[in-house]
Amino acid sequence: MSFGDPNNPYGAPQGQQPGYGHPQQPQQPGYGYPAAPQGQPGYGYPAAPPLGQPGYGVPMEMPGLMKTARVLLFILAGFQILFGLIAGVAIGAAQDVSNGVGSGDETDGLAGLGFLLAGLLLALGALSIFLGVKFKNGGSGIRVTTIVYAALMILGGISNIVTGEGGSATFGGLISLAMAGIILASMVTGSASAWFNRPRY
């Protein structure tokens, strides 16, 4: 559609629609209401924080102390399971020898106690793995359980040191005491409280 000669001084300017003799007005918001300012939150609701903040699209990162405690739990679990299996096999072999020489009835009580201790080590190893796995998504219950567990491990380590008489039990007690002490210390910090009580979306 043509609007006449582009060189006509009385015609519409190039690129504009004819306005019946009036210059075209810039577009205004409709019906006399001013446009709402851009970027302002509406109707009293606060603006959401940027997506880069924890809890809004980006998960909170586990603190370094929690990572250390988690690794120590897995290491402790490995030792407990290994020693539990070794103790169980050794006690079973000793009981077989006792049965072979005819003194098996006399050692049944000791073998039963040994198997009980080996089973306890295996159970503690499984608990250590469970707690370490739950560090990622667990709540305050996991933290409390870890505190109680570490405290019991400290008591067990002290008991091994006292009764070990410088042998392998003393060395094992020192290792478990050091690991459990670090785990317990990391669980009572403010970062541990913030991690296990963090909001989950």
- Kindly report, residue by residue over 42-86, the tens digit of the pLDDT: 555 555 555 444 544 455 788 888 899 999 999 999 988 998 899
Q: What is the pLDDT of residues 10-42, one digit of tens each?
A: 655 555 555 555 555 555 555 555 555 555 555
pTM: 0.64
Question: Using an 8 Å Cβ cutoff, are 109 and 103 in contact?
Answer: no
What is the domain partition of the chain in residue ranges? 64-196
Burial of 27 (0-12, 13-18, 19+ CB in 10 A): exposed
Q: Residue 64: CB partners within 8 Å, gap ≥ 6?
A: none
Displacement of CA 126 from its chain's centroid (Å): 18
What is the reported pLDDT for 55? 47
